[in-house]
């Protein structure tokens, strides 16, 4: 009896522990099998900061583009044209001289006039996001009209295909 137990127990353990080949558990898909091709993700683009204007500025209580600001938008239009996967967020702002509702409307008009300019240069509207921050995002708080010029702006944020901001290289600036 002891002999049978000594022989049977190891045989049972081997049967319970057995090995299975990975070929036995995976189906053979033949030509339909997934390949193992590795696709490299492109390196994120970095635009020299002197080629992308961060904002265009407006006169007091105005939303029309000045010629000097149009030349800045031409730089941005070229980058957008050369990189069809890029998008742009245009955020209009106003100084604190008017009421909140008025400033919201004026800031949105500023964002829209910039978007219209991009559209006139061949940039599809689906690549643009226009927003208004009204007078809620002041760079400088002042009652002086000239000092407040920095608050009368439309910010331009260059976005990638996934709507994340594209890096600007400030070391390449002049």
Domain containing 71: what range?
A: 49-172
Q: Is residue 139 part of a domain?
A: yes
**What is the predicted pLDDT for the residue at 156?**
96
Q: Give yes or no for a contact between 90 and 58, defined as CB atoms under 8 angstroms apart.
A: no
Give the residue from 153, 154, 155, 151 showing the smallest Cα distance to 95. Answer: 151
Residue 128, domain CATH: 3.30.1330.60
How many angstroms separate the CA atoms of 136 and 54, rounded?
Answer: 18
Residue 6 domain-assigned? Answer: no
The answer to the question of residue 13 being in a domain is: no
In a domain, 40, yes or no: no
- What residues are paired with 133 via a beta bridge? none
Instruction: Tally the domains of the chain.
Output: 1
Is 73 inside any structural domain?
A: yes
pLDDT in tens, the chain (174 residues): 666 667 776 676 666 665 555 666 666 666 666 666 776 766 666 777 778 889 999 999 999 999 999 999 999 999 999 999 999 999 999 999 889 999 999 999 999 999 999 999 999 999 999 999 988 988 888 888 888 889 999 999 999 988 888 888 777 555
Beta bridge partners of 93: 134
User: Within a domain: residue 18?
Assistant: no
Residue 152 domain-assigned (yes or no): yes
């Amino acid at each position: 009896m002891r002999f049978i137990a000594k022989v049977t127990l190891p045989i049972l353990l081997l049967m319970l522990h057995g090995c299975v080949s990975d070929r036995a558990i995976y189906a053979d898909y033949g030509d339909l099998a997934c390949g193992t091709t590795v696709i490299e993700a492109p390196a994120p683009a970095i635009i020299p900061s002197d080629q992308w204007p961060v904002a265009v500025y407006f006169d007091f209580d105005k939303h029309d583009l000045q010629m000097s600001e149009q030349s800045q938008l031409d730089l941005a239009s070229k980058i957008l044209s050369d990189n069809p996967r890029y998008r742009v967020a245009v955020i209009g702002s106003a100084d604190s001289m008017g009421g909140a509702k008025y400033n919201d409307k004026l800031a949105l008009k500023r964002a829209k006039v910039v978007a219209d300019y991009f559209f006139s240069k061949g940039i599809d509207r689906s690549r643009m996001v226009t927003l208004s921050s009204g007078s809620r995002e002041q760079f400088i708080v002042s009652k002086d009209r000239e000092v407040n010029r920095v608050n009368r702006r439309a910010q331009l944020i260059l976005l990638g295909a996934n709507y994340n901001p594209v890096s600007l290289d400030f070391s390449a600036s002049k």
